[in-house]
Amino acid sequence: MPGWLTRIGERSQRVDTLASGFAAHRSAYLVLDQRRAPERCAALVGQPGWHDFLTLFAGTPLAPLLEASPWLIELRMGSQAWQAATALCQEQRIGWAFQPAQDARLDGLADHLRQLFVLDDPHGGQSLVNVQDPTAWTAMLAAGSATAYAQLIGPLGKVVTPTPLPHWQAWQPAEATGDAEALSLSHELEQALKESPRAWWLSRATDTPLQALPPEWLVRLGRLEAVGIKQAHHLQRLLPLICQDSEHFSQPVEQGLRADLPARKKVQVLESLV
């Protein structure tokens, strides 16, 4: 199994509700990808329980993309604004939440998050990381070293993320140990970010928690995507092939994968071989 999936279970625990991960008497914060639900996010502004918000690309090299910037929102737990924002995270998985161990300034929390959107990559360049996306953020928290994990959590305290299933994951608060290292994309982290959408789709399609996904399923799904079978409805039809008991594809399936056919024709051939 990819190491980052294993570490989800090591670094976090399942909780049934977002609120169960936090202290009820203090503010909580959400990072929302407002561009994916602009009307519903705009409707949050000014609702009872809404305290304040910042656009996270403001004042950074990403400022030209300000209209697409994720938001950092401060809310009162249990309020109308909290309930609406929680629904956005759970139903559309466009954000995640956290609660510092002690009162914190919104600006300070934003500054911490802003340094995570553009990281040095292992190819000598820089890569944009969609920190606001729970899929990517989960991979970042799980794939990094213990030191990197502590740096990512930093002042955020307790972090709670949605999952592909109805439950949530509450991540353990972390204290920095040893010398801080410059945050960057390692090969492992880069690979986890590439694998994470595949893992989330499989988790939802098979009702299997991320950390319990058999590694063979991810490998087979990757093989299908590599030959051009990427649409969800095609992959759904081939789910029995992805989740088969045999370790390897049969020879007829291998031939079907290599066939010079459009994706929909390949799906028909492979489906007949299940």
248-258 pLDDT tens trace: 888 999 999 99
Q: Return the number of other C-beta atoms located less than 10 Å from residue 75's C-beta.
A: 25
pLDDT in tens, 1-15: 568 999 999 999 999
* Model confidence band, residue 178 (pLDDT cutoffs 50, 70, 90): low
Instruction: Answer yes or no: do 250 and 159 share one domain.
Output: no
Domain end position, chosen among 129, 162, 184: 184
In terms of C-beta distances under 8 Å and separation of at least 24 residues, what long-range contacts does 245-253 make, across chains too?
247/216, 249/220, 249/223
Instruction: Answer yes or no: do 179 and 219 share one domain.
Output: no
Instruction: Answer yes or no: do 26 and 78 share one domain.
Output: yes
* Model confidence band, residue 181 (pLDDT cutoffs 50, 70, 90): low
Q: Return the number of other C-beta atoms located less than 10 Å from residue 208's C-beta.
A: 17
Instruction: Answer yes or no: do 48 and 142 share one domain.
Output: yes
Residue-level pLDDT at 180: 60
Instruction: Answer yes or no: do 142 and 91 share one domain.
Output: yes
In a domain, 8, yes or no: yes
Place of tokens 């040893």: 178
For 31, the domain range is 3-184
Q: How far apart are CA 88 and CA 262, in angstroms?
A: 37
Contacts of 198 (CB under 8 A, 6+ apart): 218, 221, 222, 225
The CB-side HSE value for 273 (13 A sphere, CA atoms) comes to: 19
In a domain, 104, yes or no: yes
In a domain, 208, yes or no: no
Residue-level pLDDT at 183: 86
Instruction: Answer yes or no: do 138 and 259 share one domain.
Output: no
Rounded to 5°, angle at Cα 71 from 69 and 75: 175
Instruction: Answer yes or no: do 239 and 177 share one domain.
Output: no
Lowest mean pLDDT among 16-25, 40-49, 50-59, 144-153: 16-25
Instruction: Answer yes or no: do 28 and 145 share one domain.
Output: yes
Instruction: Answer yes or no: do 254 and 142 share one domain.
Output: no
Tokens of 245: 């008991």
Tokens of 103: 């009162």
The CB-side HSE value for 152 (13 A sphere, CA atoms) comes to: 25
In a domain, 190, yes or no: no
**Predicted TM-score of the model (pTM):** 0.92
In a domain, 130, yes or no: yes
C-alpha dihedral sign at 14, 17, 22, 28: positive
Residue-level pLDDT at 176: 60
Instruction: Answer yes or no: do 118 and 248 share one domain.
Output: no
Instruction: Answer yes or no: do 19 and 136 share one domain.
Output: yes
Residue type, 136: A
Residue-level pLDDT at 2: 66
Q: How many domains does the chain have?
A: 2
Domain end position, chosen among 184, 200, 233: 184
Instruction: Answer yes or no: do 9 and 130 share one domain.
Output: yes
Q: Coil, strand, or helix at residue 45? A: coil
* Model confidence band, residue 179 (pLDDT cutoffs 50, 70, 90): low
Using the 8-state DSSP alphabet, how is residue 112 labeled? H
Residue-level pLDDT at 247: 78
Q: How far apart are CA 247 and CA 270, in angstroms?
A: 17
In a domain, 226, yes or no: yes
